[in-house]
C-alpha cells in the first residue's frame, strides 16, 4: 500500500500534555539524566487505546507536497471530529482512524513543518491494516466552515498586507531558517489556492504556544484569522529586527576595535621606518639607561648586574615572561635612591625646640637624640642607629618616632610587623616566583626616595614564627650596624647600604623580643602616665585637637579642672591616653548634636554633669576591699593585685587550694610561699600551729584576667601570716618582690611601671626588693613624691614593716622640693605624648 498524501493533525489537550511531560521526566530521572525533549513532535496517549477526550476536536488536514527535492507538510483545510464510528461503517469515506504514534519516530519532514513546542497526534488515511485494533479509533470528520466568507474590502486589504509582509520577511531575513520555511510555503501550489491553506501553513511558524495555535485553528472568522496571523508575523519580524540590530552593533564595535588596532600598528611601523619613534623595547631601555646615569652607582658588582639584566632584556621577546621579569627588576633597580641622602639638621638648639614643641617630658629620649646629633656634628655626618621604644599602648611611641624624624630633617616611614610570619616580607622574594618583589625595607627606601630616612618598625614584639621562617632572624641583618652596610635583599640580590638609616622599633613588652635581636638595640622605656600627667595632656593637646576636628569653640564647650580629673580618675585608668581621647571625642560629639538641634548654646562640663556625656563611672574604685580584713594584702603587677587567703572549714588536713586564673609561675610562687610561711610562723609564735591543722584557700580576684607573675611572693606570705595571726596589714600599703625558701627577697622586673601604678592608685607606702634600688633613679622625682618606699633584703624586714611598728628600716621619703618643682615646671618634666 502506498504512503498517504494527506494527514489529519490534531493537538492534544493541555491536561494530556502535562501528563506526558511528567512521564518523560520520570523516565529520564530513572536513567540519572536531565529531562530532554522528545525526539519527535508526535505524542503517545498516556494509556492504552486512544481517547477523544484527550485531543482537541478541531484540527487541520495537511498535505504532503514536493518542492525543490524536499517533501514539505503544507497546511490544508480545517476539519472537525463529529463522533466515533462503528465497525460496520468502514466504507464511509468520511471515516478516519486515530492511531497511537511511537515515540521514536524521526520523520524530519513532519518535524520541520510543525511547531517545536507542539505535541500532535497524526491522523492517517487510508487505514493501515497492520495496526492492531486496540491501538486505533475510527472517527467521523467534517469541514470546519468559516462563519463569514467573501471578498470584503477589509479581507482583501489584510490579505495584501499579509502577502507583503511575507515577501518582506523572505527578503530581509534570507539567511534565517524562518525565511527559508516561508519561501518553501510560498512555492507550494496550495499557497495560491485559498486563504485558509495559507493561514494554516504560516501560523505554526509564528506561534509562541500550542494554545495560541489551537485558537487560530478554531477561529471561524476569516477577517479575525487574517488579523491574528498578520499580528503574529509582525511580532516575529520585530524580534528578528531587534536581534539583527544587536548583532549589527556588536559587529560595528568589533570592526571599530579591529580598525583601531590595525591603524595603531601601521602608525608604529611608519614612525619606526621614518625614525620618528622607537619600538617599545628601545623606549624602555633608554628610560632605564637614563635613570641609571642619574644615580651614578660606582659599585662594580651592581654595575655588572645592571649590564647583564639590560642584555637579557634586549635578547628577550616582548611577550615572554623573562622579558617582564627583567623589566620589573630593572624598574626596581633604577628607582631605588642609590647614594641619595638628605641633609641632616645639626642645630642642636633647634632640634631641642622641635622635640619640646611636639613632646614635653621624655628627658632620656630627648637627651639621647641631642647627643646623637652632637656626635654626628663632630664627625660631619650622622650615622645609623637602632632605638627600641618600650611602653604600654597609647604612650606615644609612634609619635616620638615622627618627632625625631622632623627634628633631624629626615623622611619618615612606618612599617608594621605585628603578626608578621614570613621572612620574605623582610628579605624579599626570589625572582623565580610569580609576582615577586623586594621586602618592606627596600620598599620603604623606594617610597621615601632617600637612603637615610627614619624607619619606624612598629610592634616588633608581636612578630611570630611559622613554616615560612622566623622574621626575627631576618631582622638581625637589618638592625646590626656591622651587617646592614651590605644588606642583601633576596629580590635585588645585590648589597644595599643601610648603615645611615635610623631605625626606631616599638614594643609593648621587651621580654618577648629574642635576646640576639634585643642586644642590637638601645632600649628606651616610656612608662605609663599618672593622673596629673593625663590631665596635662588633655589640657595641652587633646582638647585643642578635638576642638579643631569638631569645629566647637571654647565658648561653646568648656571643661573645669575637676571634670578632667574625674574623667582621668574614674573613666580612663590606663597607662596611655588613647581612651582619654575617645571619651573627649564622645563629649564633643554629643555637644555637636545638641548645637545642631538647637538644644544648647554653650555648656560647661563639671563633675556633676560629666556622666550625662560619658555614661556611668567605669572604675568606681580600684580598691576591691575598702575595709581591711585579716588575710587580704595588696600587691603590684600590671595592675593592682589583691591576694586573699581564707580558712577552708570543709576540707580536712593541711592543704592549699588556689583559684583566680593563676599561671604556672604564680602557682609555684604560692608553693614556695606556703613552705616558707609555715617555718616563719613558728619563729614568730612557736605556739601557733595554724597551718598544721587547717586547710587554706588562696584566691586572686578578677578571675577573668590571667595572672602569672613571680613578683607576688612576699604578698602571698604576708596574706597567709595575716590570716594565721589575725593581724591587719597597714592601710595604703602595697608590696612587690619574689621570695625564696629561705626568706630572701629577690628583685623583680618592671619596677618603674609598678611605682607609676602605685602613684596612679594613690598608694602611700610601697615595699620593694633592695636589689631594685638602682631602678628608682630612672623614675622622675615628681612621681616618687609623697610615697614612702621601703627597701628590704629578707622577709623578716617585710614583716616588721607591715605588721609591727618597731622596724629599723627607714623609708625613702620624697617630699616636696620647691627648687626642684620650679625646675620641673620650667623644663616641663611632666611626660606626655603628642597627638597630631
DSSP per-residue codes, 412-470: EEEEE-TT---THHHH---TTSTT----HHHHHHHHHT-SS-EEEEE-GGG---BTTB-
Handedness of CA 106, 112, 118, 121 (dihedral sign): negative
210: annotated binding-site residue?
no
Q: Which residues pair with 415 in a beta bridge?
A: 457
660: annotated binding-site residue?
no
Active site (annotated) includes residue 248: no
391: annotated binding-site residue?
yes
Taking a C-beta distance cutoff of 8 angstroms, is the pair 783, 761 a contact?
no
Taking a C-beta distance cutoff of 8 angstroms, is the pair 16, 44 a contact?
no
* Beta strand ranges found along 263-421 (DSSP E): 385-390, 412-416
d(CA 162, CA 185): 14
Tallying the residues shown for the chain, one arrives at 836
CB atoms within 10 A of CB 790: 21
- Mapped to the 3 state alphabet, what secondary structure does 133-178 carry? HHHEEEEEEEECCCCECCCCHHHHHHHHHHHHHHHHHHHHCCCCHH
397: annotated binding-site residue?
yes
Please tell me the number of Cα atoms within 13 Å of 672 on its side-chain side.
Answer: 22
d(CA 521, CA 502): 11
394: annotated binding-site residue?
yes
Taking a C-beta distance cutoff of 8 angstroms, is the pair 684, 798 a contact?
no
d(CA 405, CA 412): 6
Collapsing DSSP to helix, strand or coil, 523 comes out as strand
Give me the catalytic one of 754, 759, 784, 831.
Answer: 754
Taking a C-beta distance cutoff of 8 angstroms, is the pair 676, 713 a contact?
no
Taking a C-beta distance cutoff of 8 angstroms, is the pair 447, 403 a contact?
no
Active site (annotated) includes residue 594: no
Going by the DSSP 8-state scheme, the letter that residue 744 receives in this structure is B
Question: Alpha helices of 521-652 — where are they, by DSSP H?
Answer: 531-537, 543-550, 561-570, 578-596, 611-614
393: annotated binding-site residue?
yes
d(CA 833, CA 397): 8
Residues with Cβ < 8 Å from 442, sequence gap 6 or more?
Answer: 332, 336, 428, 489, 491, 492, 496
Cα Rg, the chain, nearest whole Å = 49
Give me the catalytic one of 424, 645, 673, 711.
Answer: 711
453: annotated binding-site residue?
no
Q: Annotated binding site, which residues?
A: 391-398
Annotated binding site for ATP: 391-398
Where in the sequence numbering do the catalytic residues fall? Answer: 711, 754
Amino acid at each position: 500500500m502506498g504512503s498517504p498524501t494527506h494527514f489529519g493533525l490534531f493537538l492534544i489537550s493541555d491536561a494530556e500534555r502535562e501528563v506526558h511531560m511528567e512521564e518523560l521526566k520520570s523516565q529520564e530521572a530513572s536513567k540519572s539524566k536531565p529531562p530532554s525533549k522528545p525526539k519527535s513532535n508526535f505524542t503517545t496517549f498516556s494509556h492504552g487505546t486512544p481517547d477523544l477526550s484527550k485531543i482537541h476536536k478541531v484540527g487541520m488536514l495537511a498535505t504532503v507536497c514536493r518542492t525543490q527535492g524536499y517533501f514539505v507538510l503544507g497546511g490544508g483545510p480545517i476539519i472537525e471530529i463529529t463522533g466515533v464510528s462503528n465497525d460496520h461503517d468502514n466504507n464511509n469515506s468520511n471515516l478516519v482512524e486515530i492511531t497511537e504514534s511511537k515515540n521514536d519516530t524521526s520523520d524530519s519532514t513532519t518535524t520541520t513543518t510543525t511547531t517545536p513546542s507542539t505535541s500532535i497526534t497524526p491522523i492517517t488515511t487510508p487505514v493501515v491494516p497492520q495496526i492492531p485494533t486496540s491501538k486505533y479509533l475510527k472517527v467521523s470528520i467534517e469541514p470546519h466552515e468559516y462563519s463569514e466568507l467573501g471578498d470584503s474590502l477589509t479581507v482583501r486589504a489584510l490579505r495584501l498586507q499579509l502577502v507583503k509582509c511575507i515577501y518582506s520577511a523572505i527578503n530581509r531575513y534570507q539567511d534565517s531558517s524562518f525565511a527559508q520555511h516561508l519561501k518553501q510555503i510560498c512555492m507550494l501550489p496550495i499557497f495560491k489556492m485559498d486563504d485558509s491553506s495559507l493561514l494554516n501553513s504560516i501560523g505554526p511558524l509564528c506561534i509562541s504556544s500550542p494554545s495560541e495555535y489551537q485558537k487560530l485553528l478554531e477561529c471561524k472568522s476569516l477577517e479575525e484569522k487574517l488579523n491574528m496571523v498578520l499580528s503574529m508575523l509582525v511580532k516575529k519580524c520585530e524580534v528578528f529586527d531587534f536581534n539583527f540590530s544587536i548583532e549589527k552593533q556588536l559587529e560595528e564595535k568589533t570592526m571599530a576595535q579591529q580598525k583601531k588596532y590595525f591603524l595603531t600598528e601601521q602608525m608604529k611601523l611608519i614612525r619606526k621606518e621614518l625614525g620618528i619613534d622607537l619600538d617599545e623595547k628601545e623606549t624602555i631601555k633608554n628610560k632605564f639607561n637614563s635613570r641609571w646615569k642619574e644615580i651614578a652607582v660606582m659599585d662594580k658588582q651592581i654595575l655588572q648586574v645592571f649590564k647583564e639584566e639590560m642584555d637579557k632584556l634586549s635578547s628577550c621577546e616582548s611577550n615572554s615572561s623573562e622579558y617582564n621579569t627583567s623589566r620589573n627588576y630593572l624598574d626596581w633597580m633604577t628607582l631605588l635612591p642609590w647614594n641619595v641622602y638628605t641633609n641632616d639638621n645639626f642645630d642642636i638648639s633647634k632640634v631641642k625646640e622641635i622635640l619640646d614643641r611636639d613632646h614635653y617630658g621624655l628627658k632620656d629620649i630627648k637627651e639621647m637624640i641631642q647627643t646623637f646629633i652632637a656626635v654626628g656634628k663632630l664627625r660631619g655626618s650622622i650615622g645609623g642607629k637602632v632605638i627600641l621604644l618600650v611602653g604600654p599602648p597609647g604612650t606615644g611611641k609612634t609619635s616620638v618616632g615622627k618627632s625625631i624624624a622632623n627634628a633631624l630633617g629626615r623622611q619618615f616611614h612606618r612599617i608594621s610587623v605585628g603578626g608578621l610570619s614570613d621572612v620574605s616580607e623582610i628579605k624579599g622574594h626570589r625572582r623565580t616566583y610569580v609576582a615577586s618583589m623586594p621586602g618592606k625595607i627596600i620598599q620603604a627606601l623606594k617610597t621615601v626616595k632617600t637612603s637615610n630616612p627614619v624607619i619606624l618598625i612598629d610592634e616588633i614584639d608581636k612578630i611570630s614564627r611559622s613554616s615560612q621562617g622566623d622574621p626575627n632572624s631576618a631582622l638581625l641583618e637589618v638592625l646590626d650596624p656591622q651587617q646592614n652596610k651590605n644588606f642583601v635583599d633576596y629580590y635585588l640580590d645585590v648589597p644595599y647600604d643601610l648603615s645611615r638609616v635610623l631605625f626606631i622599633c616599638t614594643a609593648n613588652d621587651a621580654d618577648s623580643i629574642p635576646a640576639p635581636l634585643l642586644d642590637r638595640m638601645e632600649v628606651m622605656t616610656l612608662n605609663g602616665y599618672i593622673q596629673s600627667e593625663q590631665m596635662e595632656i588633655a589640657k595641652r593637646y587633646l582638647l585643642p585637637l578635638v576642638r579643631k576636628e569638631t569645629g566647637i569653640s571654647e565658648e561653646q564647650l568648656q571643661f573645669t579642672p575637676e571634670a578632667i580629673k574625674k574623667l582621668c580618675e574614674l573613666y580612663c585608668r590606663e597607662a596611655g591616653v588613647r581612651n582619654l581621647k575617645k571619651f573627649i571625642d564622645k563629649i564633643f560629639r554629643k555637644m555637636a548634636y545638641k548645637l545642631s538641634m538647637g538644644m544648647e548654646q554653650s555648656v560647661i562640663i563639671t563633675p556633676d554633669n560629666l556622666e550625662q556625656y560619658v555614661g556611668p563611672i567605669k572604675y568606681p574604685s580600684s580598691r576591691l576591699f575598702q575595709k581591711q580584713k585579716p588575710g587580704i594584702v595588696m600587691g603590684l603587677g600590671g595592675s593592682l593585685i589583691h591576694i586573699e587567703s581564707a580558712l577552708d572549714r570543709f576540707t580536712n588536713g593541711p592543704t592549699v587550694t588556689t583559684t583566680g586564673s593563676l599561671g604556672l609561675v604564680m602557682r609555684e610562687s604560692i608553693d614556695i610561699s606556703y613552705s616558707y610561711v609555715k617555718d616563719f610562723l613558728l619563729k614568730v609564735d612557736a605556739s601557733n600551729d595554724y597551718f598544721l591543722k587547717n586547710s587554706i584557700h588562696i584566691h586572686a580576684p578578677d578571675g577573668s584576667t590571667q595572672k602569672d607573675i613571680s613578683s607576688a611572693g612576699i604578698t602571698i606570705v604576708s596574706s597567709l601570716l595575716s590570716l594565721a595571726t589575725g593581724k591587719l596589714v597597714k592601710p595604703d600599703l602595697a608590696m612587690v618582690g619574689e621570695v625564696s625558701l629561705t626568706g630572701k627577697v629577690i628583685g623583680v622586673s618592671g619596677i618603674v611601671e609598678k611605682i607609676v601604678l602605685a602613684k596612679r592608685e594613690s598608694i602611700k607606702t610601697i615595699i620593694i626588693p633592695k636589689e631594685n634600688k638602682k631602678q628608682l633613679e630612672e623614675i622622675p622625682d615628681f612621681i616618687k613624691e609623697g610615697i614612702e618606699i621601703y627597701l628590704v633584703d629578707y622577709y623578716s624586714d617585710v614583716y616588721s614593716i607591715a605588721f609591727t611598728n618597731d622596724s629599723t628600716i627607714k623609708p625613702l621619703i620624697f617630699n616636696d622640693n620647691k627648687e626642684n618643682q620650679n625646675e620641673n615646671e620650667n623644663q616641663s618634666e611632666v611626660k606626655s605624648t603628642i597627638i597630631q
